[in-house]
Amino acid sequence: MEDMWIKFGQTVICGILLGGMYSLIAIGMTLIMGVMKIVNLAHGALVMVGMYVTYVCATYYGIDPYIGMFIAMPVLFLLGCLIQKYMINRLVEVDSILPENQVLLTVGIMLVLTEVIRLIFNSDYRSVTTSYSSEAIYIGAMSISVPLVIGFIIAMAFTFLLHMFLTNTDLGKSIRATAQDRDAAVYMGVNSSKITMITFGLGAALAAAGGSLLLPMFYLFPDVGHLFTAKSFIITILGGLGSTWGAAIGGLIIGLAESLGATYISMGYKDVVGLVIFLLVLLFLPGGIRSLVKR
């Protein structure tokens, strides 16, 4: 009987901790969705590129992944800005391309990023091992892996910092204003193309941060991005499109659901649990978590 409770407690805690890192990735996607009104299907590929940057730092230069992420983030910020400015923005300027078709470009970007990485690193599974990779903290009889705990704490810190940035600085408020009414923001003197570029960069940097935090726990290969695109898409739908807090909570729910699925159904079916939740949300709560909180 007691064993059962230990197993359950451990599953719940691990799930929430993992979910914190999913949240960070999904918040990046939801920010981009809010401002640009498109689903960024290259988001997982950006996570993957960020993971490779951290991987290279760790393997070739001996930089700890938790420090390497501070190199991966600015690199991905820059990459995100360049993609937005020189590729996506070009498309937005053409009137005859419908906005809903702009999403196709992100599929193309995803393919190019994945194949370029495959060209450089080939398809081998790689992993980063650190001295603490296999260490665990014990709470009573429950053991919680150390990278999960550190990852969760850093992810929550970033979420908090992002929240402060969006609510307390003029730049952050301009991002929210552009997401709520782009034309009105321009009337107030917001340079909307600059804001869009910064938002895409910021989303990519958050993707890199989330990926780097997951690196000590996940195998790394060029196609790992698809997994993260699917997860963050499910989370943003669950949270309500464009809602930052919705994505944060949605991430925790998906992490928890996967963890419970892996423990009580089967390891192989853990992603199915997320997809089932996705379908249920679409059927019964199309507005996501955000629609529950709103007015």
Partner 1 sequence: MLKVADLDVAYKDVQVLWDITFEVNEGEFVALLGANGAGKTTTLNAISGMLNVKKGKIEFLGQDITKMPGYKIAELGIIHVPEGRRLFPEMTVRENLEMGSLFPEAKAKRKETMKKIFEQFPILEEKKNKEAGTLSGGQQQMLALGRGLMALPKLLILDEPSLGLAPVLVTQIFNNIKEINNEGVTVLQVEQNVVQTLKMCHRAYVLENGRIYSQGTGEELLNDEHIKEAYLGI
Give the footprint of partner 1 on this chain (CB under 8 A). Answer: 95, 170, 173-174, 176-177, 180-181, 183-192, 295
Which token pair is 17?
A: 């901790």
Q: Cα 265 vs. chain centroid, distance in angstroms?
A: 25
DSSP H stretches of helix in 84-145: 89-92, 102-121
| Residue 174 beta carbon to partner 1: minimum distance, rounded to whole angstroms | 7
Residue 261, burial from CB neighbour count under 10 angstroms (0-12, 13-18, 19+):
buried
Pick the closer one to partner 1 by CB: 246 or 261: 246
d(CA 171, CA 197): 12
Residue number with CB closer to partner 1 (101 or 191): 191
Q: How far is the CB of 162 from partner 1 (least distance, A)?
A: 16
- Asked if residue 102 lies in contact with residue 34, where contact means CB atoms within 8 angstroms, the answer is no
- To the nearest whole angstrom, how small is the minimum distance from the Cβ of residue 199 to partner 1? 16
Beta strands in the chain (DSSP E): 136-139, 142-145
In whole angstroms, the minimum distance from the beta carbon of 108 to partner 1 comes to 28
CB of 185 to partner 1, least distance (A): 7
Closest distance of CB 192 from partner 1, Å: 7
Closer residue to partner 1 in complex, CB, 36/204: 36
Q: Which is nearer to partner 1, 15 or 250 (CB)?
A: 250
Q: Which residue has the tokens 């969006």?
A: 166
| Secondary structure of residue 132 in the 3-state scheme | coil
User: 117 or 185, CB closer to partner 1?
Assistant: 185
Using the minimum distance from each CB to partner 1, give the nearer residue, 276 or 292: 292
Q: Is residue 223 helix, strand or coil?
A: coil
Q: What is the C-alpha separation between 156 and 161, in angstroms, rounded?
A: 9
What secondary structure letter does DSSP report for 38? Answer: S
